[in-house]
Amino acid sequence: MGAVAKAQTFWRSAVEGIRHQPFVHAVSTVTLAIALFTLGLARSAGHELDRLVGSLGGEVRVTVYLDPRATPEARTAVAAGLRGRGMAVEEVSPRAALDRLVRELGPAADSLRGLSEDPLPPSLEVRVPERMRAPESLRVLAVELRAMPAVSGVDYGEQAVERLSAIARAVRWAGWVAFVVLVGATLIIVSATLQLAIYARREEVEIQKLVGATDRFVQAPFLLEGALQGLAGAVVAIAALVAFRQTLSPQLASLLSFLRLPGAAPDARGWTEALELALAGAALGLSGSYLAVHRFLRA
């Protein structure tokens, strides 16, 4: 039997198996869809948190406090060095900083009015380029600036950035742990349900074995069934993710508006994510069906 004829035989056998056992295959497909939906949801949550953390470099001002005792040349050198690295730098005098603080405090700033000396040091407000807005890059920049003699301190909202980074890592790890647990449960359920389908076709398998069919020949249609189930589960998961993002996601964004989430940008990951979920679904379906048919043939 040629390769084309074998492929046609395997395909017809797989389609017939699915048609004669629709409930069993539907259970496997739904189980696979749940696992893939969970993975896609966890990845989306991690991606949104990464976007939020990355946007903080543009939202949070990196303030460099200059030592009042430093010479004007040393202060100018700090600003020039930052501008030379592609950063937008605004020099803030002590009087301008005090006036801004008075405006922000409002009536509570009465005690600051009429001071003979400006209590605030001169500072630089720095806006870093996008490539340097990651928490690690901001941390390195702060360390470099604090080492300069003319700099007395650096503030970039370190605690907020670090906490959001920790939340993003926790969500990502929790998603992977949940996916691993679901993968194990999915393989068990898919294997058990497919074993029922294989048992219902045991006479066909026994006849194939009697006429000299190899284990690979017997396994092929069932593996194809598993792959088709995985792809069907991926389609269901992708549809559920799209529906979730179009319905519940905007509501969640409005609830979390106080975080000033970055605006939605065109998502170039859509097709890539769909392909990854399809491959993951096919792999899960193949693995579950292989376990089922392998166990049946060894029984």
Predicted local confidence at residue 24, as pLDDT = 77
294 in the same domain as 181: yes
Q: Is the pLDDT of residue 18 over 80?
A: no
Residue 115: predicted pLDDT:
60
Order of strands, edge to edge, in the sheet holding 62-66?
A: 88-92, 123-127, 62-66, 151-155
46 and 68 both lie in a single domain: no
Q: How many domains does the chain have?
A: 2
Claim to verify: residue 48 and residue 128 sit in the same structural domain: no
What confidence tier does 264 reach under pLDDT thresholds 50, 70, 90? very low
Cα separation of 208 and 4, whole Å? 19
Q: Is residue 173 located within the same domain as residue 293?
A: yes
Same domain, 216 and 266: yes
- Average pLDDT, rounded, for the chain: 77
Does 245 lie in the same domain as 167?
A: yes
Q: State the Cα–Cα distance between residues 66 and 289, nearest whole angstrom.
A: 67
For residues 92 and 49, membership in a common domain is answered with no
Report pLDDT digits (tens) over 160-188: 667 767 776 777 787 778 778 878 887 88
Residue 129 shares a structural domain with residue 181: no
- On whether both 186 and 238 belong to a single domain, the answer is yes
Look at residues 110, 135, 156 and tell me which one is the last residue of a structural domain.
156
Q: What is the pLDDT of residue 231?
A: 92
**Do 86 and 133 belong to one domain?**
yes
**Length of the chain as a residue count:** 299
Q: What does the alpha-carbon distance between residue 137 and residue 126 come to, in Å, rounded to a whole number? A: 14
State pLDDT tens for residues 86-138.
888 888 887 787 777 667 666 655 666 666 566 778 888 888 776 776 777 88
| Structural contact between residues 179 and 237, judged by C-beta atoms closer than 8 angstroms | no
pLDDT at 154 over 80: yes
Q: What is the pLDDT of residue 102?
A: 66
Residue 252 has pLDDT above 80, yes or no: no
Range(s) of the domain holding residue 23: 3-55+162-298
Phi, psi of 274 (to 5 degrees): -60, -40
Distance CA 217, CA 83 (A): 69
Write the CATH number for 115.
3.30.70.3040
Final residue belonging to a domain, choices 139, 156, 173: 156
- Looking at the structure, tell me whether residues 95 and 138 fall in a common domain: yes
The mean pLDDT of 246-260, rounded to a whole number, is 59
Q: Are 84 and 126 in contact (CB under 8 A)?
A: no
The pLDDT, as a whole number, for residue 57 is: 46
**Last residue of a domain, which of 121, 156, 191?**
156
Highest mean pLDDT among 159-173, 217-231, 262-276 belongs to 217-231
152 lies in the same domain as 187? no
Rg (CA), the chain: 31
Beta-bridge mates of residue 74: none
